Amino acid sequence: MAAKKKENPATLKVAGKVHRVYKDKKGDVVVDHAGSAKQNGKYDKIDLTKKAGAKTVKEGVKATKDWHKNNPHKKSGK
């Protein structure tokens, strides 16, 4: 039986913020927003396996980009 290949985490910058997409110990694909929880609020880590059905890191990256494309952040004060 072939051993499972470990996926490398991906780091990307979307909407001006750094996002890290990786598989956790349970095998779920998770996106972690770089920075403090104070800046990012309750959405610091999001399980993309549950939210977007992502099974691979590549699918998680696509889901993150698609979400930000459909939900752009509006700059406050302008």
Secondary structure element (H or E) that encloses residue 64, with its range:
helix 57-70
pLDDT digits over 34-60, tens only? 765 566 566 678 999 999 999 999 999
Mean pLDDT calculated for residue range 26-31:
94
Classified as helix, coil or strand, 72 is: coil
On the CB side of 1, CA atoms within 13 Å amount to 2
Domain boundaries, the chain: 16-70
Q: What strands lie across the sheet with 45-47, from one edge to the other?
A: 10-14, 17-23, 29-33, 45-47
Residue predicted with more confidence, 34 or 33: 33
Spatial CA neighbour of 30 closest among 14, 47, 7: 47
Can you give the pLDDT at residue 55? 95
pLDDT digits over 59-71, tens only? 999 999 999 999 8
Specify the pTM. Answer: 0.78
